[in-house]
Amino acid sequence: MSKFRKKVIDHPEVSTASLPDIVFMLLFFFMTVTVMKDTTLKVENELPNATEIKKLEKKDRIITIHVGGPNQQYRKLLGETPRIQLEDKFADVSEVGPYVLGRLAEMPAELRPFVTISLKVDKRADMGLIIDIKEVLRDVGALKINYTTYEGDAFMNMN
Amino acid sequence: MFCVLVPQFALLTIPLLGKVMCNLQILIMGRRTKVPSVNAGSMADIAFLLLIFFLVTTTIETDAGLARMLPRKTNEPIQIDYQKKNILQVVLDKEGRLMVDEELINLKDLREKVSQFVDNGGAPSQEENYCAYCKGKADPTSSDNPKKAVIAVNTHRETSYGAYITVQNELVAAYNQLRDREAQIRYKTSYTAMEEAYQKPETSSKEKKALKQKIQHIRLLYPLNILEPQQL
């Protein structure tokens, strides 16, 4: 009996020497596939799905406009109607034109013809606001737009 | 002694290799100087901290979507002298119901409907609008030629954006289907593959030039004519 007990006690320890290597691998993976957040989203932004998507061009020629219902923390103050977010703050439709023109003016002249407006719109937002934004974009002559979406089954957008 | 000269970083990240090298050096030198090893027990913690930092401050960005060109604004209202048969009316109401040419249809059938309409080629062979490459039914009450065919998308202000994107996606899908077929016949490759190759940075400028010509030719055969009149 005592012999039997002795055998059980002697466990080999699991080596954790390779743990840092594993974690470093994970770290490098995340460092390569992600990018730094440049704006804090104040609106909900669940993009719709689409299948026929095209990749956007380089980042230096993209102007992003976020649209969606205010986040949980702003909902009490602003209600649930979808809002436009430019950079870090909420904005009105009338502010979109000056903002786009301002961003265009900052860019080097040779890039300006290639500028794309990326519309990151929450799928629950309604078209009224989008129609207004598109009208404003036509006014300022920023005609190249991109409805930014996730890749996935487009019929999932309906529910 | 020598192994101190091996960069600390290398020793840390590849502990095993570092140790082996140290032992080798000791053997070669023939001296048994004992080097205190760096305790790497906290390495995992440090790496975890870094990992969590990156997880919190970064996002996986989506950088793809449906590309569109808006029409240029003009002072005079745009006059459309299109015949009614060349226009496909698509109406999306606030409940997400879809009406095509005054007929309520399922969203899933839209792609088929659009590609039938665009590819119809209804003009008779003597006319200038005759479409030699169309494979449609040649119904005289539907569109004459893909170049003439226009799809008018009407949405209400209350329509959800998700539903709108679904419709847009189906329209592009229908066009891509036709363009793919045409590219397959003419160039033995699909249109979407050509577009992808064109965007890749590896493609040389010479290939790009050839691709651009092909893409533009296909686009000319099946131009994406989507109108969004706003009278609703």
Q: Are residues A53 and A23 in the same domain?
A: no
Cα–Cα distance between B38 and B15 in angstroms, integer? 10
Q: What is the mean pLDDT of residues B174-184?
A: 91
pLDDT in the model for residue A56: 83
The answer to whether A146 contacts B65, with C-beta atoms less than 8 Å apart, is yes
What is the per-residue burial (b if ≥16 Cβ within 10 Å, else e) of A98-113?
ebbeebbeeeeeeeee
Cα–Cα distance between B168 and A53 in angstroms, integer? 11
Cβ(B137)–Cβ(B120) under 8 Å?
A: yes
Q: Give the number of domains in chain A.
A: 2
Q: Are residues A24 and A54 in the same domain?
A: no
The answer to whether B160 contacts A36, with C-beta atoms less than 8 Å apart, is no
Which of A31, A123, A143 lies nearest to residue B69, judging by beta carbons? A143
pLDDT band at B131 (very low <50, low <70, confident <90, very high): confident
pLDDT tens digits, residue range B40-62?
778 888 888 988 988 888 877 77
The answer to whether B155 contacts A54, with C-beta atoms less than 8 Å apart, is no
Look up the domain containing A19 and give its range: 2-33
Q: Are residues A71 and A124 in the same domain?
A: yes
Residue A101 covered by a domain: yes
Greater confidence (B191 vs B26) lies with B191
Residue entry with tokens 């969004």: B228
Residue A81 covered by a domain: yes
pLDDT in the model for residue B11: 46
Which of B63, B161, B163 lies nearest to residue A55, judging by beta carbons? B63
Which of B50, B66, B170 lies nearest to residue A147, judging by beta carbons? B66
The answer to whether B162 contacts A124, with C-beta atoms less than 8 Å apart, is yes
Determine the residue of chain A that is closest to B228 in CA distance. Answer: A131
Cα–Cα distance between A64 and A118 in angstroms, integer? 5
Q: Are residues A23 and A86 in the same domain?
A: no
Which CATH number is A97's domain given?
Answer: 3.30.420.270
Which of A52, A116, A128 lies nearest to residue B169, judging by beta carbons? A52
pLDDT in the model for residue B203: 83
Which of A126, A144, A154 lies nearest to residue B161, judging by beta carbons? A126
The most confident of A103-117, B11-25, B78-92, by mean pLDDT: A103-117
pLDDT tens digits, residue range A12-39?
888 878 888 888 898 899 888 887 777 7
- Report how many Cβ contacts below 8 Å link chain A to chain B: 172
Question: Does the beta carbon of A141 lie under 8 angstroms from any beta carbon of chain B?
Answer: yes
Cα–Cα distance between B111 and B117 in angstroms, integer? 10
Q: Are residues A29 and A54 in the same domain?
A: no
Question: Does the beta carbon of A41 lie under 8 angstroms from any beta carbon of chain B?
Answer: no
Cα–Cα distance between B136 and B118 in angstroms, integer? 8
Residue A98 covered by a domain: yes
* SS3 assignment, position B55: helix
pLDDT band at B31 (very low <50, low <70, confident <90, very high): low
Please name the helix (run of DSSP H) or strand (run of DSSP E) that holds residue A137, with its range, or none. Answer: helix A127-140
The answer to whether A149 contacts B195, with C-beta atoms less than 8 Å apart, is no
Question: Does the beta carbon of A137 lie under 8 angstroms from any beta carbon of chain B?
Answer: yes
Residue A126, min C-alpha distance to chain B (Å): 4
The answer to whether B168 contacts A147, with C-beta atoms less than 8 Å apart, is yes
Q: Are residues A101 and A59 in the same domain?
A: yes
Q: Which residues contact A1 (CB under 8 A, 6 or more apart)?
A: none
pLDDT in the model for residue B25: 55
Residue entry with tokens 């487009």: A154
Degrees, nearest 5: CA angle A90-A93-A97: 105
Q: Are residues A147 and A72 in the same domain?
A: yes
Residue A38 covered by a domain: no
Residue B120, min C-alpha distance to chain A (Å): 23
pLDDT in the model for residue B80: 65
Residue A94 covered by a domain: yes
Residues of A in contact with B64 (CB under 8 A): 53-56, 148-149, 151
Q: Which structure tokens are listed for B8?
A: 């600390």
Cβ(A16)–Cβ(A39) under 8 Å?
A: no
Question: Does the beta carbon of A54 lie under 8 angstroms from any beta carbon of chain B?
Answer: yes
Residue A39 covered by a domain: no
Degrees, nearest 5: CA angle A21-A24-A30: 150
CB atoms within 10 A of CB B46: 14
Segment 86-125 of chain A within 8 Å of chain B by CB: 116, 118-119, 121-125
Q: Which residues contact B160 (CB under 8 A, 6 or more apart)?
A: A123, A124, A125, A126, A127, A157, B94, B96
- Within chain B, strands assigned E span 58-59, 64-69, 87-92, 98-100, 104-105, 150-155, 226-227
Q: Are residues A29 and A59 in the same domain?
A: no
pLDDT band at B4 (very low <50, low <70, confident <90, very high): very low
Residues belonging to chain A: 159
Residue A70 covered by a domain: yes
pLDDT tens digits, residue range A50-107?
998 888 877 888 899 999 999 888 888 888 889 999 988 899 999 999 999 999 999 9
The answer to whether A126 contacts B160, with C-beta atoms less than 8 Å apart, is yes
- For chain B, domain boundaries: 1-35, 84-227
Residue B188, min C-alpha distance to chain A (Å): 21
Between the alpha carbon of residue A128 and those of residues B67, B124, B155, B180, B201, the distances in Å are 20, 42, 9, 34, 38
The answer to whether A123 contacts B43, with C-beta atoms less than 8 Å apart, is no
